[in-house]
Structure 1
């Protein structure tokens, strides 16, 4: 039969092509399985982690409510794998009901200090105390309940505006009056009420294309409202206005005394125009407190604070001098 051998050859070629395609897909799937197994190993390792900060077997009950004194006593701390310690025998007291401003150059240890105060880490030497009691004697969750914290790298929760603020008091029913008050204090109330669905507007677009994204400064105001909604007796603020515009920052610090009244407050900032209203200013350098006093006292001493303040003031003056001048009106 003419061409009789052609059909088997075509079948064989098609079969080989099918086998080749199957092998290619199988190898591709094997690669995906291997890649996914690496992620699974990471997940397993993560789920297997155990917290290094744990509650004692018999936690000490918390002290009476009200302003508390928070102190670092001879604290030493080194990050894992680091050769140089961040702190060695550091001593610093945040006195009850006072606002302490902490200033210093980058790398001085300011943010690490906040992480020690919040028990994200425990010091390798010395202790952190609350009214003279080592904080390791308290249950970590109960102790952190005394803290209202705004970190420099705050979280942008992809939730509604209401939930973003209400997370300040997890496990408690929302209180509308307190929500409104916290947002107003943080200069966020007008922002939230102006959203498409008000307090119910979903923030961020990670889970929904209709989510409302915010600018860095707007997110920062929401984070501050969350900390104020917590209504904690101790307020720790690490660069709380870094992303705010000048007008909002001025408005916020105009009511700063009201925000901090009755609270023990630590304010970390690089903007020296905001630290003048603090009860005292602490200068941190190379992991040690090198100056401590009021704004006026530190300027009179002419030390490191006065030097940094003058440099920043000179920077503002230089910027003003370089700004284009408006031409005088023609008469």
Structure 2
């Protein structure tokens, strides 16, 4: 905005000077012609020359202003190109075990986001065993999503370490390590592409016509509404296309779930996977959930404790600290934070039913 204002001011000043100069020259030439020192033809010639010179001068000023502006943008581009990844690759990366045997451990993890000293996670000890469904519960801002970002190595912990089969995850190659996970964040992608392509983006290494797309959609409960679209799986989503079709937020969430099921990973991570789904769709998704994820490990974040209770193990986070952990029945018997949250939600549903 400031660059545009400065350029406008310069162009206004130049245009004003050029206009004054033009009319001044016109008055002088007319006076000289009236005295008989110039002919009318000379007057017309001088006016044409002056107009041409004025136009060229204004164009030069405009191009110089544009050049200055382009120089600033190019400077920003080079600054962007000079940015180096904050997550360092190991010099000699170890091969990622497939499948994993011991699972994943968080050992004394502490974390603060870059540029701030405020701790987001403190002394986190957590384990995800192969084939185990683990749930994270807690209020907004308790550190659940930050924990997932550390697990996916979008950030490295400030203290402590995360291990996969007993090896620090920083010893693995970054790209190969991230293939261990299928992740749905709360801000999952909504791509202006066909339904088939949106699901296949979960594993682009598979061929375009792979039947795995339909299989993933069935697991996510997306197949019925996709079949009802104009061109089924080949229907473009969003109105960016003439033949495109808009779908609801809940349907987009099912597409995102199908994308996660598409990737043959060892661990599925779901951050609020049913926030836009109705209770019926949520029940269908988590009914036989272990079979839907092919008995892989899963890490689920949800505020709906009706979803969480199916987990094998539950961690309750509060202000970046694990306050409680255990199975659903164990946490209910403890009569702590989890029991209180569960009772409140159950009471709310009973009031609605009444």
TM-score range, shorter chain: 0.7 to 0.9
Are residue 129 (structure 1) and residue 186 (structure 2) matched? no
Are residue 256 (structure 1) and residue 293 (structure 2) matched? no
1:6 deviates by 7.5
CA contact (8 A) 1:68 1:97 kept: no
SS at match of 2:149: helix
1:169 to 203, 225, 243: 203
Any stretches of 5+ residues in structure 1 without a counterpart?
A: 322-331
Are residue 312 (structure 1) and residue 334 (structure 2) matched? no
Are residue 113 (structure 1) and residue 137 (structure 2) matched? no
Are residue 225 (structure 1) and residue 262 (structure 2) matched? no
Root-mean-square deviation (Å): 2.8
2:179 to 124, 145, 149: 145
Q: Deviations over 1:256-296 (max 9, x none)?
A: 23224421111001111111111121101121111011222
Are residue 86 (structure 1) and residue 120 (structure 2) matched? yes
1:75 to 109, 119, 125: 109
The alpha-carbon distance between structure 1 residues 23 and 193, as it changes in their structure 2 partners (threshold 3 A), is: farther
2:220 to 171, 175, 186: 186
Matched residues, number: 320
Q: Deviations over 1:40-78 (max 9, x none)?
A: 333322222222223322221222425651111111111
CA contact (8 A) 1:68 1:264 kept: no
Any stretches of 5+ residues in structure 2 without a counterpart?
A: 1-32
- Hey, what's the Cα distance between the residues in 2 that align with 1:222 and 1:148? 14
Instruction: Choose between structure 1 and 2: higher helix proportion.
Output: 2
The residue aligned with 2:249 is 216
The alpha-carbon distance between structure 1 residues 163 and 37, as it changes in their structure 2 partners (threshold 3 A), is: farther
Are residue 283 (structure 1) and residue 316 (structure 2) matched? yes
SS at match of 2:290: helix
CA contact (8 A) 2:110 2:159 kept: yes
1:17 deviates by 6.5
Comparing 17-26 and 192-201, the one that deviates more: 17-26
The alpha-carbon distance between structure 1 residues 49 and 260, as it changes in their structure 2 partners (threshold 3 A), is: same
Q: Deviations over 1:17-56 (max 9, x none)?
A: 7766666666555555544444433332222222222332
CA contact (8 A) 2:106 2:127 kept: yes
1:292 to 303, 308, 325: 325
SS at match of 1:176: coil
- Hey, what's the Cα distance between the residues in 2 that align with 1:314 and 1:12? 91
The alpha-carbon distance between structure 1 residues 14 and 233, as it changes in their structure 2 partners (threshold 3 A), is: same
Comparing 257-266 and 61-70, the one that deviates more: 61-70
- Hey, what's the Cα distance between the residues in 1 that align with 2:219 and 2:281? 11
- Hey, what's the Cα distance between the residues in 1 that align with 2:229 and 2:60? 50
Higher relative contact order (CA 8 A, sep 6+): 1
CA contact (8 A) 2:270 2:300 kept: yes
